[in-house]
Copies of this chain bind each other. A is one copy, B any other.
Amino acid sequence: MSSEQVVQTPRRRRNAAETRQLLLHVARIRFIRDGYAATTVRDIADDAGVNVALINRYFTSKEGLFEACLGMAASDINRNVDNITLDQITARMANKIATGTDEGRLQDSLMMLLRTSGEERVNVMRREILHAVSEKLAAAAGRPADEETLLRAQIVLATAIGITLLRTSLRLAPIAAADELDLVGPLTDVVNALLPH
């Protein structure tokens, strides 16, 4: 507290935590866009502007970095479906699918969940995350959490994933260009049809 510090990104030239976060950030983008196998550690290091060896220093391996990115996606998704109500599902889906607020975009986290490194541990993680999400969607329906309700909740989830995929990865027109207003109508129809009050 003796000397004044810049509060926002003091841009210290050497900062482990900051570099770690930077690697996470750029790796996430690559993994989402290109997948695990098609992304090289040199791609990531170059994007971050740091040396390749730092990936192994901070994340042990490429695989470790990938799992860290998956963890980020998991918390992001959980934050968005936690304590959600049935009425909020449609609006939040349309909003989060359509609008990207730069950081922590829910659609990106959904796409991250579709990526795999091939490691079975990663596949188990992905299944657990998605299962938790579908249970929360089923709970929002306010009905007994039987298999039928869970199945219908997972079809809602499948729709969200499918739309996000057609939009971000395939860029299929016209759904890729649809905005929040265009989506909220059809999505309301789907959710009401699958999880009626």
A29 at the interface (CB under 8 A from B): no
CA A170 – CA B154 in complex, angstroms? 12
Question: Which chain A residues in 141-197 approach chain B with CB under 8 Å?
Answer: 147, 150-152, 154-155, 157-163, 165-166, 169-175, 178, 182, 186-187, 189-190, 192-194
Determine which of B36, B147, B172, B193 lies in contact with A134 in the assembled complex, contact meaning CB atoms within 8 Å.
Answer: B172
Please give the distance in Å from A125's CB to the nearest CB on chain B. 11
Contact A158/B163 with A134-B172, A190-B190 known, Cβ cut-off 8 Å: yes
In the complex this chain forms, how many copies of it are found?
2
B150 A158 Cβ-Cβ under 8 A:
no
**A148 CA to B187 CA in the complex, in Å?**
13
CA of A147 to CA of B179, assembled, Å: 13
Q: Shortest CB–CB separation between residue A107 and chain B, in angstroms?
A: 13
- The answer to whether B151 and A157 touch across the interface, beta carbons within 8 angstroms, is no
Given contacts A37-B37, A38-B37, contact A166 B158 (CB under 8 A): yes
A37 → chain B closest CB, angstroms: 4
Cβ contact within 8 Å between B34 and A166: no
Cα of A147 to Cα of B185 in the assembled complex, Å: 14
Minimum Cβ distance to chain B for residue A186 (Å)? 5
Q: Write the A19-38 contact mask toward B (1 if CB under 8 angstroms, else 0).
A: 00000000000000011111
**Which residues of chain A in 105-136 are interfacial with respect to chain B, using CB atoms and an 8 Å cutoff?**
114, 118, 123, 126-127, 130-131, 134
The 9 lowest CB-CB distance pairs between A and B, nearest first, are: A158-B162, A162-B162, A193-B193, A37-B37, A37-B38, A189-B193, A161-B162, A154-B175, A158-B163
